[in-house]
Structure 1
Amino acid sequence: MTKQILVLGSVNADHVLKVDAFPRPGETVTGSRYDVIAGGKGANQAVASARLGGNTHFLACVGQDAFGREIVDKFAEDGIDTSLVEQVEGVNTGVALIFVDGRAENCIGIAAEANAALTPERVKDKKAEIAGADYLLMQLETPEASILEAAKVAQSTGVTVVLNPAPARPLSDELLASIDMITPNQTEAELLTGVAVNDSDSAREAATILHEKGISRVVITMGRLGAFISDEAGARIIPSFEVSATDTTAAGDTFNGALLVKLAEGESIDSAARFANAAAGISVTRSGAQTSIPGRNETELFLAERIPHCNDAEQIVIER
């Protein structure tokens, strides 16, 4: 059986408004479209993992509101094991307010709500389930103390711990030392290391600092440049695919879910990153979070059409 991916993270109702340009302080702008879409970084990554073929379990909290009940059913329809998703009494499901501008960039504000109920105590109650996974994938929309608790449980039982440090914020050395692989974007990498990441040299510098914190593998997503990887094999970039972007809301989440699927299937990190770049590339051509995440067949077809006769070495720019 395919190795198990346990995603621990957030669930949000995404309220998305499309605008020509983001409002300035005190300014009111008129949107062209408004939607309420299932989101949350944890949920997005779990959905991506499941749609792309991963044996996916999800540890999360939602409210006992209509959205919370409906989203759990949708998770199950996507093939996610929802036995660890708890509906918490007396709170709402998490909320995200998202502006998407005419350049497909986004600006997001969130309220944790039920996500804050994923406490260290709840995580401790799920020790056996965490220990039973092969990969633990987490983000930063749930309490940091809970993320640390889960990482320690996983690390002590041989589970590979992957952290997508988003939304960007400083993290303790204790947490970073509990991570096997970290997947920041350029902004997040800069916040964690103090290095402005804008090319392969600065990415290597940032990765070196993260290695010194105890993290063995660093994957920095760099938008159109691709995915920068630094590990025991050295440093290299897996190029991205050229697409016409509509909305970048869940691109990073799609990348992370896809990356874990291929790693769980025994693929190399370079091959996994190429697949993840393809899935993320498809996602940015569509609107919304989970609504933009592609399936396995679509992603494999996308890859086949673009690199039909290439081997790994031809797709990797090695940074020496």
Structure 2
Amino acid sequence: MGALSHGEWEPPSAPILTHALEKIRARDGLTLARLQDDRSQAVVPLLRLNASRRFADVHKVDLSAAAHAVICQCVLETIDGTHRIVADAILALGLFSAQYLAHGVDDRIVQALHAGSLGIRRSTLLANWARLHDSLGLPATEAPSDRTLRGTTESEVLRELARQLIRREVNSVGSRNVVASPSDDATANPEPKGRVIVVGGAVMDATFRTKSLPQSETSSEAYGFDLSPGGKGVSQAVAAARLGLEVSLIAAVADDRFGQEIIHYLHDEGVNTSLLKIARQARTPFTGVIEMELGDSIAVNWRNSTEIRLEIRDVERLSQELTDCDAVLVTFEIPRETVQRTLELVHTADHDRPLVIVTPGQPYPEDDISRHSLAHIDYMVAHAWELGRYSPPGQERFDPDPVARHLLAYGVETLCIPGNGGCTIYSDTDLQTFSVPSFPSIYKESSAARDAFCAALAAQLIDNDGIFTEQQAMWATAAMACATADFPLSNSMPDRRRVESLLSRSRFTLRPQPGN
């Protein structure tokens, strides 16, 4: 099926889906060939389902195969009893062929149930009504007449299937969590407004997806594997580009084939790669990730810091770039002294210096950054567990509240602590301390979620001339929620339309503090 002409990809209504299914059941039924037929307008509503688009993205199949799989899943998971048998037969899905054969149903009958003629499928269904029910362990009522099957039962089945598809659109995390490609809608992102520089790491992620972790001295099977560019620097740069910002990445990248893959990936995502440091005859750093089904993960980093290292002189060479942008995002993936020099360089701007957003993960094992450098941070976006080293003297038990106030006393203007889908904000401005409620998701927060928050925070601050409000905090939290909910996608970073769509459906409302 070719590219579909569409606007905001609003899901079709249940009556429209019912009508489409009624047309498709005729002749050969719901086959891949029918879904792929460019001339068949009847299939368009099924291809327009965001659940179909998401399935296609996650499983790397074309839209026709995805729509077929989504409908089959819906029949298997949400249609019960007799209606399941009828849906399978009239749409020629063949979902229960193996079970029928295993229970002694003749192969010619099984073949006839997904024949290219609706009339043959109907007559076979009615002639073997009780036997088919028995094969699936279902109690069989008396078989309806051909007239009742055509005029009543089939209509009920298709209406129910359409309703279940709509429920999947509205309630499933797979409904609207689709990152549209640029070809889908040229207006998804506005023209770039503001320039951002990200200073951080660029690695390759080797991700094993598994249902269980192996015990010591044992192994377990992974059900999926992916090798892809990663690192907080890369992730935040891509996230910012998705939001329509002009983005450059400052990072050290090897000149091996993996380094080239990272550069190509950045280029494809619209990130400027001219500021990268190319390390000759070096090996790309790797992160080994074991990822569970709902997104929680563990990781092992091999930084290869002897060959891949962003030095102080590397950022000094780019000092003009650092002071000419609107925001600088810095991660602790680069050496501590390089982070400190970067923050210092940004603050050499005479006026209108860039905003500084810092991600302190992973914390440096040997020491913290200096108190002088903390005073150069406008926004620190940190998980609670990363803040233990900043506890006030004498505090035996970790408590993020006094730690946060301790960081504000050191000069950090605003501390954002994301967690459980929401975010707690400590600020040295009039906003002081407040919490953004969580946006629920069945998936756990991934490392990409925090990166989406940082990029969205930068975008909102640039859009609003550096003014930070509860609205900006909620927008950034919504971007983080989108990245979490879209976790199964190959790139879960949202564009602006995706964030606005989530906020438009949110039940949260803001009552700004007086004077804000």
TM-based fold match above 0.5 = yes
Other-structure match for 2:416: 219
TM-score w.r.t. the length of structure 1 is: 0.88
> What secondary structure sits across from 2:377 in the alignment?
coil
Q: Which amino acid aligns with 1:167?
A: Q
What letter is aligned with 1:50?
A
Contact 1:247 1:286 in 2 (8 A): no
Pairwise mapping of residues 235-314 of structure 1 onto structure 2 (< 5 A)? 235-245=433-443, 248-266=446-464, 268-287=468-487, 291-307=491-507, 311-313=509-511
| Secondary structure at the counterpart of residue 10 of structure 1 | coil
Structure having greater relative contact order (Cα 8 Å, sep ≥ 6): 1
Q: Which residue of 2 aligns with 1:162?
A: 357
Aligned to 1:95: 286
SS in 2 for 1:250: helix
The runs of at least 4 aligned residues of structure 1 exceeding 6 Å deviation read 194-197
Q: Report if aligned partners of 2:206, 2:289 keep a CA contact under 8 Å in 1.
A: yes
Residue 73 of structure 1, CA deviation: 2.5
Does 2:340 match 1:142? no
**Worse-superposed segment, 167-176 or 83-92:** 167-176
For 1:208, which of 373, 383, 405 is the aligned residue? Answer: 405
The residue number in structure 2 matching 1:113 is 304
Taking the TM superposition and a 5 Å limit, the aligned residue runs for 1:2-151 are 2-113=193-304, 116-151=308-343
Q: Quote the Cα distance in structure 2 between the aligned partners of 1:162 and 1:61.
A: 20
3-state SS of paired residue (2:206): strand
Q: Secondary structure at the match of 1:277?
A: helix
Output the CA distance in 2 between the equivalents of 1:228 and 1:27: 43
Q: For residues 242 and 105 of structure 1, do their structure 2 counterparts lie closer, same or farther at Cα, with a shift above 3 Å needed?
A: same
Mapped partners of 1:55, 1:175: distance in 2: 26
What stretches of structure 1 of length at least 5 have no aligned partner? none
Higher Cα Rg, which structure: 2
Are residues 247 and 236 of structure 1, via their aligned partners in 2, closer, same or farther at CA, if it must alter by over 3 Å? closer
Pairs aligned (count): 310
Deviates more, 1:66-75 or 1:108-117: 108-117
- Counterpart CA distance in 2 for 1:192 and 1:25 is 34
Deviation at 1:237, TM superposition (A): 0.6
CA distance in 1, matches of 2:389, 2:294: 24
- 1:48–1:290 CA distance, 2 compared to 1 (3 A): farther
Following the alignment from structure 1 to structure 2, what is the Cα–Cα distance between the partners of residues 26 and 225? 38
Q: Is the contact between residue 328 and residue 356 of structure 2 (CA under 8 Å) also seen in structure 1?
A: yes
What is the deviation of 1:144?
1.1
Moved more, 25-34 or 83-92: 25-34
Compare 124-133 and 226-235 and name the one that shifted more: 226-235
Say whether the 8 Å CA contact 1:275–1:299 is kept in structure 2.
Answer: yes
Aligned AA (1:37) = S
Following superposition, the deviation at residue 174 of structure 1 comes to 3.5
User: How far off its partner does 1:101 sit?
Assistant: 2.3
Moved more, 243-252 or 291-300: 243-252
Whole-Å separation in 2 of the counterparts to 1:110 and 1:235: 34
Q: 1:192 to 1:31 in 2, by over 3 A?
A: farther
The separation in 2 between residues aligned to 1:264 and 1:136, in whole angstroms, is 11
Structure 1 residues 178 and 128, CA, compared in 2 at 3 Å: closer, same or farther?
same
Alpha-carbon distance, 1:257 to partner: 1.2
Q: Secondary structure at the match of 2:415?
A: strand
- Conserved? CA contact 1:112–1:142, under 8 Å: no
Aligned-residue identity in percent: 22
Higher alpha-carbon deviation: 167-176 or 87-96 = 167-176
Give the counterpart letter for 2:408 in structure 1. H
Q: Give the deviation of 1:263 after TM superposition.
A: 1.0
TM-score (norm 2): 0.56
What is the DSSP-based 3-state SS (H/G/I as helix, E as strand, rest coil) of the residue aligned with 1:136? strand
Return the alpha-carbon distance in structure 1 between the equivalents of residues 500 and 421 of structure 2. 20
Aligned-CA RMSD value: 2.5
Tell me whether 1:181 sits opposite 2:376 in the alignment: no
Q: Paired residue for 2:66?
A: none
Are 2:330 and 2:359, in contact at CA under 8 Å, matched by a contact in 1? yes
Question: Which amino acid is the alignment partner of residue 266 of structure 2?
Answer: F
CA displacement 1:7-32 (0-9 Å, x = unmatched):
10111110001122334444433222
Change (3 A) 1:250 1:49: same
Deviates more, 1:42-51 or 1:70-79: 70-79
Post-superposition Cα deviations, 1:102-150, rounded to whole Å, max 9, x if no partner, equal 4521111112237842111111111111111121111111111111111
Q: For 1:144 and 1:63, locate their aligned partners in 2 and report how far apart those are by CA, in whole Å.
A: 20
Higher share of residues assigned helix = 2
Kindly provide the amino acid, as one letter, of the partner of residue 358 in structure 2: L
Deviation at 1:51, TM superposition (A): 0.2
Which amino acid counterpart does residue 451 of structure 2 have in structure 1?
D
Aligned counterparts of 1:206 and 1:258: Cα–Cα separation in 2: 25
**Partner amino acid, structure 1, of 2:295:** A
